[in-house]
Structure 1
Amino acid sequence: MSPTAVHEVSTPTIQSLKAQAQGGRFEIPPWTKPPLTKEKLPWAELETIDLNLLESPDPAVREKLIQAAKKALTVDGFLFVTGTGVSNETLERNLAIAQYAIRGIPYEEKLPYAAKLEEGSYRGYKLRGIWKRDGGVADNIEHYNLESTSFENPQDAHPSKLLPLIPEIESFARHTYFYVVYRILKLVSLALDLPEDYLWELHEHTGTLGHACQRFMGYFPRDEKDEDATSGIWSKGHTDYNSISLLYSQPISALQILTPENEWRWVKHVEGAVVVNTADALEFLTGGVFKATRHRVIRPPPDQADIIRYILIHFARVRRDLELNPIWESPLVKAHGKNAFQDRIDNGGKAPTQDEWLRERIRRTGHELYDDNKKSKNGRVEEEVLGRKVEYYV
């Protein structure tokens, strides 16, 4: 799909979102924007990239942008992206939808739409409290996940109370995928010295959002006893399972990344930006040149610790049947890359596909081997997944 075609898809989406913002929307409680923390935290120093500069007619501007992306993806695996074409009003409306999906739907009405995690699928609700953490504490995470199939027969795919919001959700998801993800993948392709549409062509273009997943999520505060039992960690250090992940920045500080110096640093809020990180599939496709960054979620600082943290995440995924071998066509990958599944291949096997990797990682999520006997001094745990060692951190 050409850049022109993608742009044509995105334009009516933005207009539709603006029209919905002006009236005629399904009324739900608004999301109240919390104040920023006043705590002095050790912030991660992340690159900020403006997607609008991709359209610059000046080759020097584009080259500077590409080199900044290459540095960010090689060193940090995380960066801020602006120029998304999404207004603050639209973001706040979708955070209100996240709040409503999590708190506005009764538990018994969510149950028929619970995700089939044991089958490796996140579609639907991941309900709060189904995973056990340290000290036997139930997890404080709930999310509602939508894929392209979620929009094909909406009457059967969602609780009735959510149905009036599906057109808005679909517009937001479509814009994120066909406008924001497309342009980020274009930039990453150029950083790999590949044709600009190379990575996009490895992703699915059909449906509302290809093979991607749009998530509306909430983290709930816990009492002091549970926080002590879990050391204040809400989601332990991990990598994502897809190609790239997008988190629309919001004010509550809780996300941390593990730096190359093995230090946990906080990710600050940048108004109107998307926090982008490299995930497993892109690490495998680049032969480890762009590494999937370990990140975790911990209890927010004291002045934000009692607020429910609602977030909007988009997980882009390559085609389901794509084997996760390095892209040797990239000069960068050819010079520095290694196949993550070489041992498996040497033994007569193949690299897993995106779908195989995704499903196996989802099946194991919440059941990772965090046994104290397996932890190293730095809190790292390893387990083998489809012939590849996967690391988790506390």
Structure 2
Amino acid sequence: MSPIASETSAPTPPATLKQQHHLPIVQPSASDLPYLAPWVAPPETKQNLEWASLETIDLKLLDNPSPSVRADLIALAKRALSTDGFLYVVGTGIPQETLERHLAIAQHLITGIPEDEKLPYAAKLSEGSYRGYKLRGVWSRDGVRDNIEHYNFETPSFHGTSSEHHPAVLPFLPEIRAFSDYTYNHIVKKILKIISLVLELDEDALWKLHGHEDPIGNACQRYMAYFPRNDEEDKATEGIWSKGHTDYNTVSLLFSQPISALQVLTPHNEWKWVKHVPGAVVVNVADALDFLSGGVLKATRHRVIRPPSDQNDIIRYISIHFARASPGVELNAIAESPLVQREGKNAFQSRIDEGGRAPTQKEWLEERIRRTGHELYDDKRSPAGAGRVEEEVLGRKVEYFV
């Protein structure tokens, strides 16, 4: 069954859902907030890297009264998301001061709290959940522990008791909530409107497949850090800090920051660096949207590698927002989309032909999280030297680049 045709998978926003969203707070005025060490922007690399050629769209153009301007915006988004699956988004309405404030919060969450005090707040990865801390070193590759740590906020993170968070997190929870709320209910919503129009659907079609529980539905707001590795560790892992992969949700939003480490796999199977664009959000298509679009929109293969030599001794703090469809949405191709009818196909048709169904967003997400760091691919790399491997997840082949 098409997701849009399903009564259970297209929730109507509750009457209490806020219709107007204000800019997130830049700097709280409360005098009793603890000191927050500022995030100091590192210099951009001076090296001449092979940069990916990515399109840029301006969200403000969605509200332009000119039909031709909107048509050009939709055409540009379609070209980018059906080719690279990656683009820059500007015109978000978030001031640079706010972005830097939230990188300072990332810095505080990751390096401002002792490691042993984070353990009670560790995410339940084996249960398919990232909520809380994903601690550094819980995964390994070729005998080298990972250098990744992140703290993840979901809607229940803002409704639980104070015991859900370390005491040093609590003073900043209102800011984190406001930022997450604005990102989801303003930026993500507009991006999904554009993508709905790309798919030749009503502009709210994809938003209806996403949750509307206050404040961020089924989404996840992540504060993250990559720690520098020594030469020996990087040699053992070929400089790969996060293997080539696709994300598990619908769309991912990375707030651009100066340290170069993210790479995207182009349609020509070349890894290209993603350049920092101040104030922009780097948006990529993830698995669930790939499936919903019948493969017309491409889930982006991307990875994180050792930064260039003039940046590789700096902790890379980042802020990411993962939009997810509502948990019960089955990841079938949207049959109501004329574009999908013409060019798409159901990624789980073989399961359906055998009497099964497509997995839901919840099932896909939880299974992918459980396997992260414990993938079941063999070490046959195809084509030779490219590092491409596969495993089967819920009836679907999933690629990694290791």
Give the TM-score normalised by structure 1. 0.96
Structure 2 residue 308 is the aligned partner of structure 1 residue 301: yes
Compared CA separation, residues 129 and 385, structure 1 to 2 (3 A): same
Deviations 1:322-377 (A, max 9, x none): 00000011110001111100111111100000000000000000112465345541
Compared CA separation, residues 384 and 371, structure 1 to 2 (3 A): closer
Q: Name which of 53, 61, 66 aligns with 1:58.
A: 66
Structure 2 residue 16 is the aligned partner of structure 1 residue 9: no
Matches of 1:390 and 1:30, distance apart in 2: 40
Give the letter for the 1:173 counterpart. Answer: S
Q: Identity over aligned residues, as a percent?
A: 63
Q: Name which of 387, 390, 400 aligns with 1:392.
A: 400
Local SS of the residue matching 2:104: helix
Local SS of the residue matching 1:257: strand
Map of 1:152 onto structure 2: 159
Deviations 1:97-156 (A, max 9, x none): 0000000111121101100000000000000001011x2000000000000000002402
Compared CA separation, residues 302 and 318, structure 1 to 2 (3 A): same
Matches of 2:29 and 2:266, distance apart in 1: 39
Matches of 2:284 and 2:381, distance apart in 1: 28
Matches of 1:250 and 1:6, distance apart in 2: 31
Q: 1:190-339 alignment to 2 at 5 Å?
A: 190-339=197-346
Q: Is the 8 A contact 2:379 2:389 kept in 1?
A: no
Structure 2 residue 119 is the aligned partner of structure 1 residue 117: no
Map of 1:44 onto structure 2: 52
Matches of 1:280 and 1:289, distance apart in 2: 12
Q: Is the 8 A contact 1:7 1:179 kept in 2?
A: no
Q: Is the 8 A contact 2:209 2:325 kept in 1?
A: yes
Matches of 1:67 and 1:26, distance apart in 2: 47
Matches of 1:116 and 1:101, distance apart in 2: 18
Q: Name which of 77, 96, 100 aligns with 1:92.
A: 100
Map of 2:5 onto structure 1: none
Pick which of 157-166 and 376-385 moved more.
376-385
Matches of 1:19 and 1:265, distance apart in 2: 36
Q: Is the 8 A contact 2:17 2:214 kept in 1?
A: no
Give the letter for the 1:328 counterpart. Answer: A
Deviations 1:182-227 (A, max 9, x none): 0000000011111110000000011210000000000000110001
Local SS of the residue matching 1:245: strand
Matches of 1:316 and 1:330, distance apart in 2: 21
Q: Name which of 356, 362, 371 aligns with 2:363.
A: 356
Compared CA separation, residues 23 and 184, structure 1 to 2 (3 A): farther
Deviations 1:56-114 (A, max 9, x none): 01111111001000000011100000011111000000000000000011112110110
Q: Is the 8 A contact 2:44 2:258 kept in 1?
A: yes
Matches of 2:393 and 2:146, distance apart in 1: 23
Q: Is the 8 A contact 2:247 2:287 kept in 1?
A: yes
Map of 2:112 onto structure 1: 104
Deviations 1:299-319 (A, max 9, x none): 000000000000000000001
Local SS of the residue matching 1:235: strand
CA RMSD of aligned residues (A): 1.7
Q: Is the 8 A contact 1:193 1:331 kept in 2?
A: yes
Map of 2:171 onto structure 1: 164
Matches of 1:264 and 1:374, distance apart in 2: 16
Q: Which runs of 5+ in 1 are unaligned?
A: none
Give the letter for the 2:94 counterpart. Answer: V
Q: Is the 8 A contact 2:26 2:101 kept in 1?
A: no
Matches of 1:25 and 1:330, distance apart in 2: 49
Higher helix share goes to which structure? 1
Give the letter for the 2:331 counterpart. Answer: L
Matches of 1:57 and 1:22, distance apart in 2: 40
Deviation at 1:24, TM superposition (A): 6.3
Matches of 1:8 and 1:327, distance apart in 2: 27
Q: Is the 8 A contact 1:241 1:357 kept in 2?
A: yes
Give the letter for the 2:69 counterpart. Answer: V
Give the TM-score normalised by structure 2. 0.94
Local SS of the residue matching 1:173: helix
Matches of 2:17 and 2:276, distance apart in 1: 29
Give the letter for the 1:272 counterpart. Answer: G
Structure 2 residue 78 is the aligned partner of structure 1 residue 70: yes
Q: Is the 8 A contact 1:369 1:381 kept in 2?
A: no
Q: Is the 8 A contact 1:6 1:179 kept in 2?
A: no
Deviation at 1:25, TM superposition (A): 4.5
Local SS of the residue matching 1:306: coil
Matches of 1:218 and 1:339, distance apart in 2: 36
Matches of 1:46 and 1:25, distance apart in 2: 40
Q: 1:340-379 alignment to 2 at 5 Å?
A: 340-369=347-376, 371-373=378-380, 376-377=383-384, 378-379=386-387
Matches of 2:204 and 2:186, distance apart in 1: 13
Q: Is the 8 A contact 2:25 2:98 kept in 1?
A: yes
